[in-house]
Amino acid sequence: MPHSKLIPAQPEPPALPLPYPLPLTRAGLSGFPSPAQDYEGRTLDLNERLVKRPASTFFMAVTGDSMEALCIHAGDLLVVDSAIEPRPGHILVASVEGELVVKRYEVLGNRPYLSSGNPRYRPIPAADLECQAWGVVRAVIHEYPV
């Protein structure tokens, strides 16, 4: 995947509060409450929620089917943080022999591997190839066709 597909997060993302409803419970019935009451005063900023370190975060679009079993599909948008130290079980963006891949980092028999979420693809032995982790996937944004 070419470097032009990487989209860096803004160093200081602008606040973009969106409505974030909070279901409220009531101690008793005392008439009919306003339907707008459940939506009072609560907002969600996706930058604040998904981008913990703007200086080390980038976005990346997914191609291929190798991670479908892990709910990462072609066309999804990944939120990747390059400041997180990769650990077994993390999903990584890595450069393997010059090609960017998205794989799960695993240790099998004391050796590091990059594994797919699709049984058609064999694990990649990271120690045997030129391999460099670029970052850990923090979130996957999946859009439904509507």
Active centre residues (catalytic) = 66, 103
- Distance between CA atoms of 24 and 38, rounded to whole angstroms? 6
In a 10 Å sphere around its CB, with 0-12 CB exposed, 13-18 middle and 19+ buried, how is residue 104 labelled?
Answer: buried
Q: Which residues contact 101 (CB under 8 A, 6 or more apart)?
A: 1, 66, 93, 94, 95, 114, 124
Which residue do the tokens 């064999």 mark? Answer: 122
DSSP annotation of 6 reads E
- Distance between CA atoms of 119 and 55, rounded to whole angstroms? 35
- Distance between CA atoms of 95 and 130, rounded to whole angstroms? 8
